[in-house]
Structure formats: C-alpha cells, structure tokens
Amino acid sequence: MSCPGFATLEGTARYRDRSLCAKDHFREIGEVWLSSIGIGTYLGKPDDPTDEAV
C-alpha cells in the first residue's frame, strides 16, 4: 500500500543503497527501509535489556 508523498519501499531502498553507512545500519520494517538513529539508548544503560524496553 502506498500513499502519495510518503516513503516507499523502492525509495527508501535507493536511499539505503547510496548511503555510505554500513549495510547493517538499515532494517526493513513493514514496507520501508529505516536507518538506525540511536533513539532509545540515551534514556538508559547501553545494553540489550534497556534497548528492548524502550
């Protein structure tokens, strides 16, 4: 499903492919590719249980 004016799987994949980031910096979520931006860890300890809780 697409919505005009919003991100698409193809568009976000193109952004991922031309990025200079490591390939594991991106994850396919639903119908788009998202980049890791570090949201969450700053709220607590830098560990897996905290990441999962946030």
The whole-number pLDDT of residue 40 equals 53
Cα 28 from Cα 49, distance rounded (Å): 22
- At 38, which amino acid appears? G
Q: What is the pLDDT along the chain (54 residues), one digit of tens a residue?
A: 556 788 888 888 898 898 888 878 888 888 888 888 766 556 677 788 877 876
Q: Kindly report the CA angle at 16 between 15 and 19, in degrees rounded to 5?
A: 85
Q: What is the pTM of this model?
A: 0.52
Residue the block writes with tokens 């991100």: 7
What is the pLDDT at residue 1? 55
List the one residue out of 32, 28, 26 whose CA is nearest residue 7.
Answer: 32
Which among 4, 14, 9 is positioned nearest to 32, based on CA atoms? Answer: 9
